[in-house]
Structure 1
Amino acid sequence: MTDPVKTSLEGRAEPSASATEKNALYRKIAFRLMPLLVVCYLVSYIDRTNIGIAQVGLHQDLGFSEGVYAFGVSLYFVGFILFEVPSNALMARIGARKTLLRIMIAWGLVTIATMFVHNAVMFYVARFLLGVAEAGFFPGCLLLLSYWFPSSRRTRMTAIFFMSIPVSGIIGSLVSGWIMSVFGGIWDLSSWQWLFLLEGIPAVLLAFVVFVMLSDRPAQAPWLSDREKAIVENDLADDQRRKAMKPSRKGGLRQALSDPRVWILGLGACAAYTLANAVSFWTPRIINEAGIDDPMLLGLLSAIPPVFGIVAMQLVGRSSDKRLERRWHTAVCWLCAIVAMVVLSFFLHSPYLVVVLLCVMAAAHYSGLTVYYSIPSIYLGAKSAATGIAFVTAMGSVAAALAPAMLGWIHNVTGNISLGLVLSAAIIFLGVLVVLIGISAKSLREKPNQALRDSAE
């Protein structure tokens, strides 16, 4: 018995599928892809940030000063920025499986090799190479989602992927602290050496799991039937045609640099990463300066904001997909963060109010970031997305490198972080203007067929 057919926008026959069937199909795809991507990004985030835990051991054993540590952190972002766009452009050519295999093996080996550093120069080289190795992983995963999910479902998938960020912040601190406290001295290795060794191995092992389990495109997935492949590819094709925007320019670095849309998105990413660093790097310090000195209580209170971030990501992501609206969802999230940051700057010595405001900031950060990073693939179109997303992420990484230094310098000069919070809020407000004024509603207009709309609801 043949499948019922309907006519697509181009007049070709395609399999007819109900909303229930499509929901089941995309759940199947999500259960196959998302757990793997989430675990991989969790490992990536831990390997990137474990230097904060290792810093104490590096200072004690090798005499690294705060300046050496800070410069090493900055060099990571230099390598990351320089190789972000080429790495993602390569993924568009050779596919996700080969690209992620290369990236994950490289960053795992560099993380392991960091255990052998014994002077500042070696430390600098290791951090730079880690940035080079990890470049392309984050935007590559976002690009991969655009190959599997139509835009009406993509924000929710992006939210699930981004959920690994707050989760890794909690898990990474606990695991790294445990390694540092238990393994020091075994086989004459310092605790920080064990940290890099044990946290670098999972990336190498996961690389081969990804290579075996992942498929570049639906058409290449052996775990989908021919009918399921056709449904997904028809949804993606119709999704591209329904975007009310001009035809995409040919992808490539030169085209990305000359495309004003990419620069607009990059400016928005700078705002997003400024908020990210205010939340990620300063939450424990702000709580500590509010009068919480007990390490256990400080750790517990620092773990609360990411929990609110996880919940907000799912709620806002679902709302954005249901309404097919991205700009105002992003802007409102960032405006909430701005209000919380400004209020926080006046109440830094009220510990529990500080925690409440940090929860608002975290919820606004994670949910706003989720929706914002669903915009580039819609705004730029399929041909420009690979290079464009990578360049947008690279611009955001510049802010990621500069924001902590800015807040730290202001803190040293003024004695507190109040002015730094207000200045960060001003930068984020510019991001709100970029989203609402620089990106037109028409360019993001999505008009899925009824089955897709029912599925999103």
Structure 2
Amino acid sequence: MSPRRWLRLLPAIFITYSIAYVDRANYGFGAAAGMAHDLHIGPSTSSLLGSLFFLGYFLSQVPGAAYAGQRSAKRLIFWSMIAWGVLAAATGLIRDVPLLFADRFLLGVVESTVFPGLLILLSHWFTGRERSRANTILILGNPITVLWMSIVSGYLASSIGWRGMFIAEGIPSVLWAVVWWRLIDDAPRDAAWLSPAERDAIEARLALEQQHIVPVRSYREAFLSRPVILLSLLYLFASIGGYGFILWLPSMLKSGSKLGMVDIGWLSAGPYCAAVIVMLIVSFVSDRWQVRKGVVWPFVLLASLALSASYLLGPNHFWGSYALLVVCGAAIYAFVGPFFAWITELLPRNVAGASMALINSSGALGSFIGTYFVGYLNGATGGNGASFLFMAASMLIAAGLTLTVPRPSVASMRARERSAPTRAERAL
């Protein structure tokens, strides 16, 4: 089936998620670069500001995904990009703390549509045997963004201050929205750049996969099903540890060393550089052998063990502890592409989009809990030990929950095998 899907859609989707991720991850740099001092914000208030993004994100996921699935992911993401660019830049202009609370919350609301909307879009374009790799290219926008953003934000915060950093990193999304609108189509049937044979081949393969998934009549039935409940809990606990790690990594590195912000920026990039390599390998293995559960739980467990070991080494062994944080960062990201491919193999298309949003919103709730309590524990204890153990325990629970999720039906697995394109179809 058409290789042009990969060349046209995935770079645009990657860039879109990358731009979105800047505005949720750069708060940690603003906090470390003097934002709290300038606005007279205490540790608990700073933690609440960081986590309010995820509260807004949590509350708006399912309605946004329902619109993307039933109407248009393309249109929803276009308007979201414009809104989040304005709100992200406003973070650098606001001087009143209550307004900053509102800005961070609303930023979470408008960005909540992006990830489930992009996943739904990918499910309309790529088959089950391609989806882990396609999802991973989308999700690579996360660690690659944090990798370059860690370096750029360190320089920007050092040279033009935290206010200038927020403004400079908020503007690109408004400009990119125009490019997005011209490049993206909601489904193969809408794409004038594909031949009729290519459109028909893609739609036929996707339809064949759906025939062998157990039907689910309504969102309520899907949301109360055992797989969705377990996957939601799994992602909640994984995100408590994962986003606590992502948002507060610069502050944790700074408190464990005497390095400046530029050096902290370079060190913060390390875990994400490792994550990019590991994610590509894991997604290829997951698609090649059609393994989802078997690549999810080992990496969630590895993240937990690496954090625990980093805590045991302590601040007196900074570089050994940092190496374990690199392992943890890679493991946190490695499982996400196969995880979201797994969801689409357990549920039919009519409810898969909203179910992914519910699961992702559970992750956002976990992110809210993780970012708040990690920041709170760091401030309350004056160190990182308690927060490391909190994150490690959360990911250990997530690894255990993974083992309880049922596998797709045998009929569904055989249908995916039959839906693998022939050599002639791959040439289209």
Cα distance in 2 for partners of 1:304, 1:412 equals 25
C-alpha spacing 1:307/1:263, structure 2 compared with 1 (3 Å): same
C-alpha spacing 1:99/1:358, structure 2 compared with 1 (3 Å): same
Higher relative contact order (CA 8 A, sep 6+): 2
Match of 2:216 among 241, 248, 258: 248
Offset, 1:418? 3.4
Aligned pairs, number: 421
Partner of residue 236, structure 2: 270
Deviations 1:375-406 (A, max 9, x none): 22221221111211111111111110111333
Structure 2 residue 260 is the aligned partner of structure 1 residue 260 = no
Offset, 1:101? 1.1
Cα distance in 2 for partners of 1:233, 1:301 equals 45
Partner of residue 364, structure 1: 331
Deviations 1:275-307 (A, max 9, x none): 312431343444445546355544333322211
Structure 2 residue 148 is the aligned partner of structure 1 residue 171 = yes
Partner of residue 112, structure 1: 89
After superposition, the CA RMSD in angstroms is 2.5
Partner of residue 236, structure 1: 206
Offset, 1:452? 3.8
Structure 2 residue 302 is the aligned partner of structure 1 residue 332 = no
Offset, 1:84? 1.1
Conservation of the 8 A alpha-carbon contact between 1:248 and 1:382: no
Match of 1:309 among 268, 271, 275: 275
Structure 2 residue 115 is the aligned partner of structure 1 residue 146 = no
Offset, 1:192? 4.0
Offset, 1:136? 1.4
Q: How does 1:89-108 map to 2 (within 5 A)?
A: 89-108=66-85
TM-score, scaled relative to structure 2: 0.90
Offset, 1:336? 1.7
Match of 2:104 among 127, 146, 149: 127
Q: How does 1:55-70 map to 2 (within 5 A)?
A: 55=31, 56-70=33-47
Identity, % of aligned positions: 27
Q: Say which SS state the counterpart of residue 148 (structure 1) adopts.
A: coil
Structure 2 residue 414 is the aligned partner of structure 1 residue 448 = no
Offset, 1:369? 1.8
Structure 2 residue 166 is the aligned partner of structure 1 residue 196 = yes
Offset, 1:231? 1.1
C-alpha spacing 1:136/1:358, structure 2 compared with 1 (3 Å): same
Unpaired runs of 5+ residues, structure 2, are none
Partner of residue 340, structure 2: 373
Offset, 1:205? 1.5
User: In structure 2, what residue type is equivalent to 1:200?
Assistant: G
C-alpha spacing 1:256/1:108, structure 2 compared with 1 (3 Å): farther
User: In structure 1, what residue type is equivalent to 2:226?
Assistant: P
Cα distance in 2 for partners of 1:240, 1:256 equals 15
Match of 1:395 among 358, 362, 377: 362
Unpaired runs of 5+ residues, structure 1, are 1-21, 184-190
Cα distance in 1 for partners of 2:34, 2:383 equals 27
Conservation of the 8 A alpha-carbon contact between 1:249 and 1:255: yes
Larger Rg: 1
Offset, 1:352? 2.6
Conservation of the 8 A alpha-carbon contact between 1:108 and 1:204: yes
Deviations 1:393-447 (A, max 9, x none): 1111111011133333444555543343334333222222222213335377353
C-alpha spacing 1:115/1:337, structure 2 compared with 1 (3 Å): closer
User: In structure 2, what residue type is equivalent to 1:195?
Assistant: M
TM-score, scaled relative to structure 1: 0.85
Partner of residue 428, structure 1: 395
More divergent stretch after superposition (48-57 vs 136-145): 48-57
Partner of residue 318, structure 1: 284
Cα distance in 1 for partners of 2:379, 2:36 equals 21
Partner of residue 266, structure 2: 300
Conservation of the 8 A alpha-carbon contact between 1:290 and 1:350: no
C-alpha spacing 1:204/1:388, structure 2 compared with 1 (3 Å): same
User: In structure 2, what residue type is equivalent to 1:112?
Assistant: A
Partner of residue 52, structure 1: 28
C-alpha spacing 1:112/1:291, structure 2 compared with 1 (3 Å): closer
C-alpha spacing 1:442/1:161, structure 2 compared with 1 (3 Å): same
Cα distance in 2 for partners of 1:219, 1:226 equals 8
Partner of residue 212, structure 1: 182
